[in-house]
Amino acid sequence: MFVYLNLIAFLAFLVGLIYIHVHFKSWSLSRKVFIALIAGVLFGVTLQVGYGGNQSDIIQQSVQWFNIVGNGYVKLLQMVVMPLILMSILSAVSKLHNASSLGKTSVSVISILLFTTMIAAIVAILVSLFFGLSAEGLASGVQEQARAVKLQEIQTGTLGNLSAPDMILAFLPSNPFQDLAGLRSTSIIGVVIFSVFLGIAAIKLVKDNPEQGHKLLSGIDTIQQWVMKLVRIVIQLTPYGVFALMIKMSATSDAKSILSLGLFIIASYVALAIMFVVHGILVRLAGESFIGYFKKIIPTMAFAFTSRSSAASIPMNIQTQEKRFGVPSSIASFSASFGATIGQNGCAGIYPAMLAMMIAPTVGIELNLHFMIMLVFVVTISSIGVAGVGGGATYAALIVLPMVGLPIEIVALLISIEPIIDMGRTALNVSGSMTAGIVTSHVLKQTDKTMIEQE
C-alpha cells in the first residue's frame, strides 16, 4: 500500500513539473532542471526518513517504479548517442574543404583534454597532502570483499594490460557496426574514427563526381538535422529524468558509510571544485565570462551529476556548446565525443591520483617529488581510453595503480561511497570536454555568437 502512495506522490510531482513546462515556457531549461533537482532530493530524503533508512523494502520497491522515468531517460539519451556522434562528425568533416582544419581541431581538443587531466592529477596530489589522506586502517566489509574478488577479473579487460601499440590499435574500428552498438570500451572513439573516414570519402566524392557528391552532402545534412530534432525532443525531458534520478540517489544512499569515509568525500569534492574553477579560468582566458560559463552549463551538469555517465551526456554536451557558446558543430562533436573517453578530469585524473597518494605510504613508498611526477605522467597518459560510463573511474584506477606498483584492493574498499563521488567526477568530466571545445573554438577563431540561442 505504501508503495502505491509513494507512486501517487511521485506522479503528482511529475504532473507539477509538466505544468511548469507548459505554463512557464519563458523559464529556462536551467531553472526547470534546478527545480526538479531540489524536488527530487527533498522527496528522496523524506522517503528515507519516513521509512527508517535506505534499506527499507518499501523504498527499494518504490525506486523500481521511479526508475522507469530515471533510467528510462538515461536510456533515451544513450539511444541517440551513437547516431548523434556519427552524423555530427560525418556532417562536419564532409563540409571541410581540406584536412588541415580537421587536424587542427582534433589536435587542439585532445591536447586541452590531456592538459586539464594533468592539472587534475596535480590538484589531486596537493589536496591529498593537505588533507593527509591515507588508506591506513580502512576495513573491508562483506560487500567490499565481494567487489575485491571481481576486481582482478575486471582488470583483465582494461586497456592497462595492453602494450602502447596494442592500445592504439584498440581504438581503430575493425567492425563499425560493433562500435555503433557500443560493444567495446573504446566504441565511441571507434565511431568517431569511422565517421571521419566517411566524411573524408564524401569530400573525395564531391571532387571526383560533383553531382553525386552534392546529393550525398544534401542527404547527410538532412539526416543530421533529423537526428538533432530527435536529440532536442529527448533533452526536453531532462527535468523529469533528473527528478527521478535524484530521488533514487537521496533515498538509497547509506548515510553511515558516507560519514565513515567523509574525509575522502570532502577531499574529493574540494579537488573537483578546484578543477571547476580551472575550467572557468580557461574559458575566461579564451574570452567567455567566468560566471556565465557556469550559468550556461547548469542543465548539462545536472544530468551528468545524476546519471553518472559522460557518454550519455554527449547529446546535451554538444547542444550546450553550440547553442549557448556558439561553438561550431564540428568542434562541439569532437570535444564531446573525445571527452567521453580521453582525458576525463574527474574519473581518470583526480580519482586514480588520489587513490595512489593514499595507498603509497601504506606499502612503503615515499611520497617524494619523483613519485609524484611519475604519477602525474602515468595518470595523464592512461587517461586515454577510459570508458565514458558509470564506473569508468574504477577502470582508470585499475590501469594506474598497477603501473605505479600499487595494489588495487582499495578500489573495492570505497564501494560504499563510490556513487556519491562519481556524480561529481562525471560532472567534471563533461565540463572538461566542454572547456576543450569552447577554448578550441576561440583559439581557431571559429566561434559564432550568432548561433547562440537566447532563453
- How much is the pLDDT for 139? 46
pLDDT at residue 159 greater than cutoff 80: no
- How much is the pLDDT for 126? 96
**Residue with more model confidence, 102 or 228:** 228
pLDDT at residue 333 greater than cutoff 80: yes
Single pTM value for the model: 0.75
- How much is the pLDDT for 128? 93
pLDDT at residue 157 greater than cutoff 60: no
- How much is the pLDDT for 411? 66
pLDDT at residue 269 greater than cutoff 90: yes
Q: Exposed/middle/buried for 286, CB within 10 Å: 0-12, 13-18, 19+?
A: middle
The band of 154, judged by pLDDT with boundaries at 50, 70 and 90, is very low
**Residue with more model confidence, 281 or 206:** 281
- How much is the pLDDT for 93? 77
pLDDT tens digits for 282-311?
Answer: 999 999 999 999 999 999 999 899 888 888
What average pLDDT does the segment 97-117 reach?
A: 82
- How much is the pLDDT for 295? 92
pLDDT at residue 60 greater than cutoff 70: yes
The band of 444, judged by pLDDT with boundaries at 50, 70 and 90, is very high
Rounded Cα gap, residues 208 and 317, in angstroms: 36
What is the number of other CB atoms lying within 10 angstroms of the CB of residue 129? 12
The band of 124, judged by pLDDT with boundaries at 50, 70 and 90, is very high
For each of the domains in the chain, give its residue range(s) and CATH number, in order of start.
Answer: 2-451 (1.10.3860.10)
Rounded Cα gap, residues 319 and 235, in angstroms: 9
pLDDT at residue 153 greater than cutoff 60: no
Note whether 396 and 310 are within 8 A (CB).
Answer: no
**Which of 98-107, 135-144, 325-334, 348-357 is least confident?**
135-144
Q: Taking Cα atoms as reference points, which of 377, 321, 307, 313 lies closest to residue 349?
A: 377
What average pLDDT does the segment 438-451 reach?
A: 89
- How much is the pLDDT for 25? 81
The band of 401, judged by pLDDT with boundaries at 50, 70 and 90, is confident
**Residue with more model confidence, 103 or 225:** 225
pLDDT at residue 81 greater than cutoff 90: no
**Residue with more model confidence, 353 or 163:** 353
Task: Work out the mean pLDDT of the chain and round it to a whole number.
Answer: 83
The band of 431, judged by pLDDT with boundaries at 50, 70 and 90, is very high
